[in-house]
Structure 1
Amino acid sequence: MIYTIKKEVVKVAEREQLASRLGFILVSAGCAIGLGNVWRFPYITGRYGGAAFVIVYLIFLVILGLPIMVCEFAMGRASRRNLAGAMLALEPPGTKWHIYGYLGVMGNMILMMFYTTVAGWGLAYTYFMAAGRLSLLSPEEVGNFFGSFISNAPALTLWMALAVVIGFLVCSIGLQAGVERVTKILMSGLFLLLIVLIIRSVTLPGAEKGLAFYLKPDFSKLNWEAVYAAMSQAFFTLSLGIGSMLIFGSYLSRERTLAGESVYVVILDTLIALMAGLVIFPACFAFGVDAGAGPGLIFVTLPNVFNSMMGGRLWGTLFFVFLSFASLTTVIAVFEHLIAFTMDEWKWSRKKASYIGIVVMFIASLPCVLGFGPWSGFQPFGEGTVVLDLEDFIVSFNLLPIGSLIFVLFCTSKYGWGWNNFIKEANTGIGPKFPEGLRGYMTYVLPVIIAVILVMGYIQFFS
């Protein structure tokens, strides 16, 4: 099958393909599943009231995250290109939509500049737990241990480098033999570990209080701040707006519609987040720990929980293995987009792109590492902030919402790719169709919601 786009003949057969539908779903879900599910979702749920917050979050996943994901997959499959190439190929002649395509690819790079550091924390804590480095420490000492670790630049550099090397080496093996196969293994291991950890957590004495908090909604706890937090979490958890999903759409066959495939990805991403909550909330309530303790929940609060638990060294090790699996699936997926960009635009081989990528990403990630130690004097947003906060701000508060807004406008506006082209691509194949009746919502309502997230994010961040 041949598509003619902007006088360029794109032979679908020449584009790498994922080996199976399951592979596409797991790789795409692996990109979405990451620290946002395991790190951010539990503490933000704990902060905003538990089950009632989760219900609002699920609603926003459907009305906000799902349509944008279909846009990304459609753009990728129609163009058979990375984000920059996709917008260049699909835009009307003379327009400049592709400018954001290159900014989005840079967004993937900036995301990995701090994500690899935090992924390294997970790898390090797997070792620390297994070696018993945290077992005999008091709660105060556990907090001091984390502070000492992240300020130790050589150690942090080593663990960051390990995350970078693992990610690019997997990608260098190939799309099917590397990215798809390894992601299947990581995702399978992730589910098994979660099931084991859930069984242990819900059988702890006092766990029923955590289950009630997490599963029994109390809507009196909801306020507008909680609603916005749910909307924001639903938006950010899927990593939409910088083409991380688009690249896997470019590897997808036209046998099935994109709405159905997107639903499966959203379900898997949500399932992991909900299962992570079933691990964390019963354990926190069983040991009287604040589940809304903020970002320190994973690396400071939970180690204290494991220290109080019989067999805690084993359970702590398993938890951080699970955390590492979740973060590495995202690292591998985003690295694949960066590699695809160099292969599409610069005609590099996969091996060349991977090996150069290791060096470039290692150097690019050093500012985040050094920001906790030698460069800690650089506080971009005031006292207590570090380089990671700046990089996260660029991606999470700017490129993700702005990119998603551009994607929606690109797929609905007559000045972009246009609704007719989008809906035709989205509904090609067998399976559930994307409702054509949503054109008004996609064109007028969804952009307003995204704009609200962008503005409210600024207000919340700077206040």
Structure 2
Amino acid sequence: MHETLERWSTRRAFILAVTGAAVGLGNIWRFPYITGENGGAAFLVLYVAFVLLLGLPVMMAEIMIGRAGRRSPMQSLGHLAARSGASRHWRWLGLFGAATVFCILSFYSVVSGWSIEFLVAAINGDFRGASAADIGAGFDAFLADPARLTFNHSLFLAMTLLVVAAGVAKGLERLNNLLMPLLYLLLVLLAGYAATTEGFGVALGWLFLPDFSALTPLVVMHAMGHAFFTLAVGACALMAYGAYMPDHQSLPRAVGAVAVLDVAVALLAGIAIFSVVFSQGLDPGEGPGLMFVTLPIAFAELPWGALWLSVFFLLLLLATWTSSINLAEPMVATLQGWGLRRGLATAVVGVAVWSLGMLSVFSFSSLAETRVLFGMNPFELVSTIPPEVFLPLGGLLIAIFAAWVMPEEAARYALDVGPGGFRLWRGVVRWVAIPLTLVVLVAGLS
């Protein structure tokens, strides 16, 4: 396959696209509850440190490979491996990445569909005056209703694939240019509202005044794993975006901007969520139910709560939408590398992802007690193994390929930081990021 002719039209478009890929459930759903479970500020300090030492170097490696290859992930890896005299079997890493995002998008679409249901419920004021027991029972009833889950899963997936089918310039770029500024506007509005609540000061102290005595090896592992997960690295998805990167853009500056924007989303979401939670005297360590049970309870008791809860679920929907597009793109790019037109490739991906996602839909009802592997039902399996095992394994192999295998001149050109900057990056990847990624992988396997 020849080099792709598609490019992001501007440097800003590339940064917004990669930020849209990174910002999603990891920032707005997973970050608040995992921070709540792991002691607040001490976890936050570790998370930011691991973003710098682990997430950013591997993210740069992944984008760099795509930029140097200017092809689909599978084709780029094979082309660069051939240039360096290495085995062309490295191209199968691109297929492994596509399989990883295939599994992840199947459950991601189902969970993201929940935000559609809750957005409509919040707009309708369904949570106003409801007790905690009523809201919890309502959530359980929703999960047990495969027809409602199927509708939301199908709608969300259709929203995603319609954008991907339109291509880089007309689809992905236009949507990111519109939605990412809107997402940050909604976040700032929510944080501004949080500043008016009684729990705002408590939330700031809890998030930004660390108590390092609360740290345990498990908290360190969670911080390391979340830093890896939140930047969307390890599945060759950013490799696909790197292939469309403008020729004269600084990769380190772009990735640095993405990291700042990504962490800012997590912090603003945390401030907004924990201010509301503390205002109502609720537990910040409620786990995954924090988003869909605890928050509706908390907002229901606050002035203008229904409005701000609607804003929050709109924010969640926008974030998961831009992120899911990133998950679909490498699969479509891989099929395009095999000769399929973009429209047909998108349709094939859509049917396959929807079908696998139906196993997750029924995992809350008829398949709830079905144990597929490791004592897990289908939803538990695809929402655990790919993010916790496949992503770190993919990230490890990407880092090894970028730092040890691909031609040095191609790496230098794609990274574009000068001799000293290249040596620093390669040293950090070889001796810091790769060992840390290996630790994340071992933890996921244990």
- Which range, TM-score by smaller chain? over 0.9
User: How far did 1:452 drift?
Assistant: 1.0
Does residue 370 of the first structure (1) align with residue 355 of the second (2)? no
Q: Is the 8 A contact 1:171 1:178 kept in 2?
A: yes
Q: For 1:162-181, list aligned pairs within 5 A.
A: 162-181=155-174
User: How far did 1:284 drift?
Assistant: 0.9
Partner in structure 1 of residue 253 of structure 2: 260
What is the letter of the counterpart of residue 170 of structure 1? V
Q: Is the 8 A contact 1:254 1:428 kept in 2?
A: no
Q: Give the Cα–Cα distance (whole angstroms) in 2 for the partners of residues 361 and 456 of structure 1.
A: 28
User: How far did 1:139 drift?
Assistant: 0.2
User: How far did 1:457 drift?
Assistant: 2.2
Partner in structure 2 of residue 304 of structure 1: 297
Partner in structure 2 of residue 358 of structure 1: 350
Q: Is the 8 A contact 2:53 2:428 kept in 1?
A: no
What is the letter of the counterpart of residue 212 of structure 2? F
User: How far did 1:198 drift?
Assistant: 0.8
Q: Is the 8 A contact 1:257 1:433 kept in 2?
A: no
Equivalent of residue 323 in structure 2, options 309, 317, 330? 330
Q: Give the Cα–Cα distance (whole angstroms) in 2 for the partners of residues 80 and 94 of structure 1.
A: 19
SS state of the match for residue 293, structure 2? helix
Residue segments in structure 1 that go unaligned for 5+ positions in a row: 1-7
Deviations 1:313-337, CA, capped at 9 Å, x for gaps: 1111111000001100111122222
Partner in structure 1 of residue 16 of structure 2: 26
Q: Give the Cα–Cα distance (whole angstroms) in 2 for the partners of residues 87 and 111 of structure 1.
A: 22
User: How far did 1:208 drift?
Assistant: 1.4
SS state of the match for residue 71, structure 1? helix
SS state of the match for residue 15, structure 1? coil
Equivalent of residue 51 in structure 1, options 30, 38, 41? 41
Does residue 191 of the first structure (1) align with residue 184 of the second (2)? yes
Equivalent of residue 417 in structure 1, options 389, 397, 406? 406
Q: Give the Cα–Cα distance (whole angstroms) in 2 for the partners of residues 255 and 181 of structure 1.
A: 21
Does residue 453 of the first structure (1) align with residue 440 of the second (2)? yes
How many residue pairs get matched? 443
Q: Is the 8 A contact 1:259 1:434 kept in 2?
A: no
Q: Is the 8 A contact 1:241 1:402 kept in 2?
A: yes
Partner in structure 1 of residue 138 of structure 2: 145
Deviations 1:225-277, CA, capped at 9 Å, x for gaps: 22221111111111211111111100012202311111111111111111101
Partner in structure 2 of residue 217 of structure 1: 210
Residue segments in structure 2 that go unaligned for 5+ positions in a row: none
Q: Is the 8 A contact 1:201 1:282 kept in 2?
A: yes
Q: Give the Cα–Cα distance (whole angstroms) in 1 for the partners of residues 347 and 301 of structure 2.
A: 44
Q: Is the 8 A contact 2:68 2:413 kept in 1?
A: no
Partner in structure 1 of residue 381 of structure 2: 390
Deviates more, 1:21-30 or 1:177-186: 177-186
Identical positions, percent: 32
Q: Give the Cα–Cα distance (whole angstroms) in 1 for the partners of residues 86 and 304 of structure 2.
A: 64
CA 1:62–1:91 in structure 2 vs 1: closer, same or farther (change >3 Å)?
same
Q: Is the 8 A contact 2:203 2:275 kept in 1?
A: yes
SS state of the match for residue 241, structure 1? coil
Larger proportion of helix: 2
Equivalent of residue 227 in structure 2, options 223, 228, 234? 234
SS state of the match for residue 237, structure 2? coil
User: How far did 1:422 drift?
Assistant: 1.9
For normalisation by structure 1, the TM-score amounts to: 0.91
Q: Is the 8 A contact 1:260 1:433 kept in 2?
A: no
CA 1:365–1:448 in structure 2 vs 1: closer, same or farther (change >3 Å)?
same
Does residue 71 of the first structure (1) align with residue 61 of the second (2)? yes
Q: Give the Cα–Cα distance (whole angstroms) in 2 for the partners of residues 376 and 437 of structure 1.
A: 49
CA 1:308–1:359 in structure 2 vs 1: closer, same or farther (change >3 Å)?
same
Q: Give the Cα–Cα distance (whole angstroms) in 2 for the partners of residues 160 and 445 of structure 1.
A: 39
Runs of 4+ displaced beyond 6 Å: none
Q: Give the Cα–Cα distance (whole angstroms) in 2 for the partners of residues 193 and 33 of structure 1.
A: 14
Q: Is the 8 A contact 1:419 1:439 kept in 2?
A: no
Partner in structure 2 of residue 246 of structure 1: 239
For normalisation by structure 2, the TM-score amounts to: 0.95
Q: Give the Cα–Cα distance (whole angstroms) in 1 for the partners of residues 235 and 444 of structure 2.
A: 17
Q: Give the Cα–Cα distance (whole angstroms) in 1 for the partners of residues 384 and 77 of structure 2.
A: 24
SS state of the match for residue 288, structure 1? coil
CA 1:355–1:382 in structure 2 vs 1: closer, same or farther (change >3 Å)?
closer
Does residue 134 of the first structure (1) align with residue 127 of the second (2)? yes
User: How far did 1:310 drift?
Assistant: 1.4
**Structure number with higher relative contact order (C-alpha < 8 Å, ≥ 6 residues apart):** 2
Deviations 1:34-89, CA, capped at 9 Å, x for gaps: 00100111111122221222111111101100110111111101111222111111
User: How far did 1:386 drift?
Assistant: 3.1
CA 1:94–1:45 in structure 2 vs 1: closer, same or farther (change >3 Å)?
closer
